Structure 1
Amino acid sequence: MQATIITIGDEILIGQIVDTNSAWMARELNKIGVHVYEIISISDDRAHILSAFAKAEQQSDIVLVTGGLGPTKDDITKKTICEYFNDTLVLNQEVLDHVVRLFKEYVKAPMVDMNKDQALVPKKAQVIMNEYGTAPGMWLEENETIFVSMPGVPFEMKALMRDSVIPRIEKIGNLPFIHHRTILTAGQGESTIATRLEEWENNLPAHIKLAYLPSLGTVRLRLSSRGVDKDFIVNSVAGQIQELYTIIEDVIVGESNDESLVHAVVQLLKDKNLTVATAESCTGGKIASLITEIPGASQVFIGSTVTYATQSKIDMLNVDPAIIEKYSVVSEQVAIEMAMKARLKFKSDFAIATTGNAGPTQGDSDAPVGTVYIGIATPLNVYGLHFMMGNHRERVVQKTINKALELLQKELIEM
């Protein structure tokens, strides 16, 4: 089965918001064996929508549409769907009752006609009730192509997809089994790893594909396969993973189906029943933010201090002012102090500390732009490491985050 994803909204095209819906939908479709042929974003324009629908119908079995279903006049998706399917809008009493209940229980304001219009749906559509909003989902089938229109609000769309759309697509049948395994590496760049893997990659079976997914400081290697024989696919990918370990085991830092280093770190902490805290300067709390985005992180993450200014390191972490005076705020000694004091402050098993000069100016230290020190405190010892992360501020911060997580992961693996 092949799918097209269409997101509708001028706010996407002018960069006012980032389209996260299509990426999420693509991942969910991939999990059940639906191949996404194309993802497009289009304007709230009748002609543009009609053109996109016509093209999608020619190339896909299912077309998923989000956006343009609000109560305002610029949300024209329902009317355009009616035009495309030669249909008319009719009042759906179940949807109207739902909208009335939402206003009564949560909005506490009188309904206007625009709100009631949310209950108007194309006559040919099968309504998918939206428990979290007023705009329902709509399922239409014509000319052997399925169109599913959903609201653009991410949490509303995700609920509709999980609870109704995905299960219904699965019942259609004839979906292949898709299997991914992702190996995380650190310490070597994409080209170096590719050179080491050249012979192995050339001999991969035709049904297994390898993708290099580089980011600052890490490279993910994703092996993918699809077919009807689940056991064959899983076992053949597992065999290739074993060969991969024999070639580049020195740079492999773990495996994560969620394809991120922070997921792997959090999972290791959970598996080993250990905790971590952070003391961040140049990374500005971003390590803590990444960790706490993961469901269940509260089991392993104790807390964080963002001690960006020099004085805050003294006031909040009790870093010895004499050490800062002697070695500079951007130094191995201060990174060690920050990590050690954070571990004591939060009573965690591990602590990460970052201090550095991300640029573009030198700030409170004479250290060159790109200078970073990372401190790691463990149940057994504490140490600091020096890195030069370049001269681009965003790259310096992101590389520091990845390196800090990599160092923590190595400590956890060795526990």
Structure 2
Amino acid sequence: MERIIASIITIGDELLIGQVIDTNSAFISQELNKIGVWVKRRVAVGDSKEEIVRALDEESRDTNIIIMTGGLGPTADDITKPVLADYFGGKLVMNEEVRKHLVYLFEEVFRRPIIERNLKQAEVPDVCTVLPNARGTAPGMWFEKAGKVFVSLPGVPHEMKGLITTEVLPRLQRRFEMPFIGHRTLLTAGVGESFLAEAIQHWEEKLPAHLKLAYLPNYGMVRLRITGWSTSKAQLEQELDTEFATLKKLVQEWLVIDEDATLPMALSKLLRSKNKTMSTAESCTGGYLAHLITAIPGASNIYKGSIISYDNEVKISQLQVSPVILQKVGAVSEEVVLEMAAGVLAKLNTDYAVAVSGIMGPDGGSPEKPVGTVWVAVGNKQKLVTQKFQFRFDRDRNIEMTATQALNLLRKFIVENA
């Protein structure tokens, strides 16, 4: 069976200048992948007729499906509808169902008068199939040309998601015979991408042609994802399971979790499995560790809280860090993070704790403790371990790296001292 291939075109000057971050493409790609569509390219263009037409021409040459988002609003810079009408040889006409929907929204839901500019959103190319937008004002549009499907959707994420789920995916599944696409993902830590590639090179070279391995590095961690496609779901699932089992054995030394999950998710799952709790004592990360943990649903079952001791007075008053030690060795030291960890364990009465203190930059460093110097302590009331890190990045990335290393150090401690 031939693979069904798609391209995604996002339209809007705001995307090109970085004023708005494109989250639509990621969602659309994930949803298409679930039904067996392979996304080949994602393209962003400005509010220019020439650029939109060029993108449509280029993307339709070797894809089956082209999905567009953006440019469907009521203002002058929203030019997608007239461009599409011209591109597909039609003209804009008033769609009565969309007009009724607009009147209902403004009069019954928004409780404000509807003006002519709003009603123009009911104008659609007469050569399209209208996709009703239950979540907003701009309808979606479905076109077909030379065996290819073109779909235009509003750029508002909430509205786009509704149309993708209720209209686009069901129609695509009826329109095309889809192969099955499957994935297996694991997360590693404490090993670089290149070293990891060397360790699994011989296995990777022997993968069947329809299975592909992807390396996804990020802040001291590497995700490995096997992706495959086939006409037989059962056969593909068996192949993926077999190869994934081999991969897990090869990377066992660095394996964090054998599913598509983040480090905070893996740590949370580990704590829940043991019915244990944790707390954090943060200086240089300013609550970022707490944010990562509490972003996971169900965090209240494993996480009690954090003491953000950014100032030394808080370290002394809330965590019982010795002022003598602070004076002698400074806040960024092994001695201080040990006392921070012990202090938060006692104060919040948790099974485990992690404490961090460091210099994130861009200033504040010294020859003895340059920017990027971080001390981490993790453990329980019986045992604490520490590790020093020396990062070399900007402030934001130093904070990210500190969080990654601290949470992973705690994860390893729990596993090794279960």
TM-score w.r.t. length of structure 1: 0.90
How far the C-alpha of 1:410 sits from its partner, in A, is 2.3
Match of 2:412 in 1: 410
Within 5 Å, which residues of 2 pair with 1:4-403?
Answer: 4-104=7-107, 107-258=110-261, 260-314=262-316, 317=319, 319-362=321-364, 367-378=369-380, 381-403=383-405
SS in 2 for 1:58: coil
How far the C-alpha of 1:379 sits from its partner, in A, is 6.5
In the aligned structure 2, how far is the partner of 1:276 from the partner of 1:122?
58
In the aligned structure 2, how far is the partner of 1:344 from the partner of 1:148?
58
* 1:134-156: CA deviation from partner (whole Å, max 9, x where unpaired): 21222222321111111112222
How far the C-alpha of 1:319 sits from its partner, in A, is 4.2
Give yes or no for contact 1:310–1:364 (8 Å, CA) kept in 2: no
In the aligned structure 1, how far is the partner of 2:7 from the partner of 2:25?
10
SS in 1 for 2:151: strand
Give yes or no for contact 2:321–2:340 (8 Å, CA) kept in 1: yes
TM-aligned CA distance change 1:157 to 1:303, over 3 Å: farther
TM-aligned CA distance change 1:379 to 1:48, over 3 Å: same
How far the C-alpha of 1:295 sits from its partner, in A, is 4.3
Give yes or no for contact 2:65–2:150 (8 Å, CA) kept in 1: yes
Q: Which moved more, 1:200-209 or 1:273-282?
A: 273-282
TM-aligned CA distance change 1:174 to 1:397, over 3 Å: same
In the aligned structure 2, how far is the partner of 1:183 from the partner of 1:394?
26
Give yes or no for contact 1:370–1:388 (8 Å, CA) kept in 2: yes
In the aligned structure 2, how far is the partner of 1:165 from the partner of 1:17?
24
How far the C-alpha of 1:403 sits from its partner, in A, is 0.9
How far the C-alpha of 1:374 sits from its partner, in A, is 1.6
Give yes or no for contact 1:330–1:372 (8 Å, CA) kept in 2: yes
Letter in 1 for 2:281: A
In the aligned structure 1, how far is the partner of 2:299 from the partner of 2:273?
12
* 1:312-371: CA deviation from partner (whole Å, max 9, x where unpaired): 434555544444334321122332333344445555443332210122222699632221
TM-aligned CA distance change 1:262 to 1:160, over 3 Å: farther
Give yes or no for contact 2:378–2:413 (8 Å, CA) kept in 1: no
In the aligned structure 2, how far is the partner of 1:294 from the partner of 1:114?
43
Percent same amino acid at aligned positions?
A: 44
Gaps of 5+ in 2: none
Gaps of 5+ in 1: none
How far the C-alpha of 1:193 sits from its partner, in A, is 1.7
Give yes or no for contact 1:5–1:38 (8 Å, CA) kept in 2: yes
Letter in 2 for 1:133: G
TM-aligned CA distance change 1:336 to 1:48, over 3 Å: same
* 1:289-314: CA deviation from partner (whole Å, max 9, x where unpaired): 33344444454444444433333434
How far the C-alpha of 1:131 sits from its partner, in A, is 2.9
How far the C-alpha of 1:125 sits from its partner, in A, is 2.5
SS in 1 for 2:60: helix
TM-aligned CA distance change 1:209 to 1:354, over 3 Å: same
In the aligned structure 2, how far is the partner of 1:380 from the partner of 1:102?
62
SS in 1 for 2:388: strand
Q: Which moved more, 1:93-102 or 1:151-160?
A: 93-102
TM-aligned CA distance change 1:138 to 1:192, over 3 Å: same
Q: Which moved more, 1:3-12 or 1:102-111?
A: 102-111
TM-aligned CA distance change 1:112 to 1:313, over 3 Å: farther
Letter in 2 for 1:237: L
TM-aligned CA distance change 1:44 to 1:384, over 3 Å: same
TM-aligned CA distance change 1:413 to 1:141, over 3 Å: farther
TM-score w.r.t. length of structure 2: 0.89
How far the C-alpha of 1:107 sits from its partner, in A, is 3.7
TM-aligned CA distance change 1:28 to 1:129, over 3 Å: same
In the aligned structure 1, how far is the partner of 2:109 from the partner of 2:322?
52
How far the C-alpha of 1:95 sits from its partner, in A, is 2.7
CA RMSD of aligned residues (A): 2.6
TM-aligned CA distance change 1:371 to 1:153, over 3 Å: same
How far the C-alpha of 1:108 sits from its partner, in A, is 4.1
In the aligned structure 1, how far is the partner of 2:109 from the partner of 2:325?
55
